[in-house]
Amino acid sequence: MECVVQGIIETQHVEALEILLQGLCGVNKERLRIHELCLRSSPNLGSVSSEVRLICDLEQPEPTWIIRHVGGAMRGAGAEQLSVLVRTMVESKASKNALRLFYALGYKLDHELLRVGFSFHFHRGAQITVTVSSVNKVPKLHAVDEAEPVTPGIQLVEVTAPAASDNYTEVVTAVSSFCEYLAPLLHLSKPGVSTGVVPTAAAAAASLMSDGGGTTV
């Protein structure tokens, strides 16, 4: 399972966010260019309709495919009160035939995306990953070079951390407290709960750009 929150930021403030993240995490960013294929089961296949994602980071020297299944969110009154979404997520590396196999099994391509941006991986109470990316739609089959932004001028920020049933409360706390540091630039919330851009972003970005993000927290 994983803990996840998302937010959006205007592209003009991404550089400031990068400076802030660099200062907070103390690690270098990693570029990413992720080709994501979302597959859906044929209408007659499966007791319920199912969805699986094939993901490949084209920025890696030897790109490899990952099969990812994102399951339902944790439910219940306790889960409602958390500011972070806790959901099942299982990944498996796969050889190059993953798409052919799923086509043969009766899955159809629903849509494909190209995420371009960067990420930071670090440990701060939990193994946290912050991903900042522009989400692009792929107009023609597999034509990633012709990808166009879904929301021009806006980038998606995602904070995730792996968790297990016996430690997710600690992970939620770690993710929540990390998100507070980003609050002047963007607001992070559970996926699907849109909170828009924050009004203080421009001022916070200007401040960060002027002192170069040298302040460590």
Partner 1 sequence: MPVKWVLHWHPSAGFSVNTQIMNEISQCVESLNGVKDGRWRSVLTFYKPITRDQSTAAEFPRDFLGLSIPEQPSKYYFIIRGQRIVLEADLTIQSIMETLQSYKSRVSLNFEGIQYQLGDFQVRVGKVAPSHSETMRGIVMEVEYLPISSVDKSRQILDDFVDIWKETLSKKSLPGQFLHIEPNFGEYGLSDQYTSQHTAVQYATVMAQLIATVQSTQGVRN
Q: Which residues in this chain contact partner 1 in the complex, by CB under 8 A?
A: 41-48, 50, 52, 67, 69, 71, 88, 90-98, 100-101, 104-107
Residue with tokens 């199912």: 50
Question: Which phi and psi (to 5°) does residue 128 adopt?
Answer: -100, 140
Residue 182: which of 10, 16, 26, 12 has the closest Cα? Answer: 16
Unique residue bearing structure tokens 């995306």: 113
Please report where in the chains the tokens 């998606």 appear, as a residue. Answer: 156
CB of 116 to partner 1, least distance (A): 26
* Closer to partner 1 by Cβ: residue 73 or 94: 94
Q: How far is the CB of 46 from partner 1 (least distance, A)?
A: 4
The nearer residue to partner 1, 71 or 196, going by C-beta atoms, is 71
Find out whether 182 and 197 touch, Cβ atoms under 8 Å. Answer: no
What number of other Cβ atoms are within 10 A of residue 162's Cβ?
Answer: 16
Residues 6+ apart with CB under 8 A from 103: none
Closest CB to partner 1 among 101 and 193?
101
Q: Which is nearer to partner 1, 94 or 197 (CB)?
A: 94
Q: How many Å apart are CA 61 and CA 39, to the nearest integer?
A: 25
- Residue 60: CB minimum distance to partner 1, A: 17
- Nearest-approach distance from CB 151 to partner 1, in angstroms: 30
Tell me the closest approach of the beta carbon of residue 80 to partner 1, in angstroms.
23
Instruction: Rank residues 45 and 144 by Cβ distance to partner 1 and give the closer one.
Output: 45
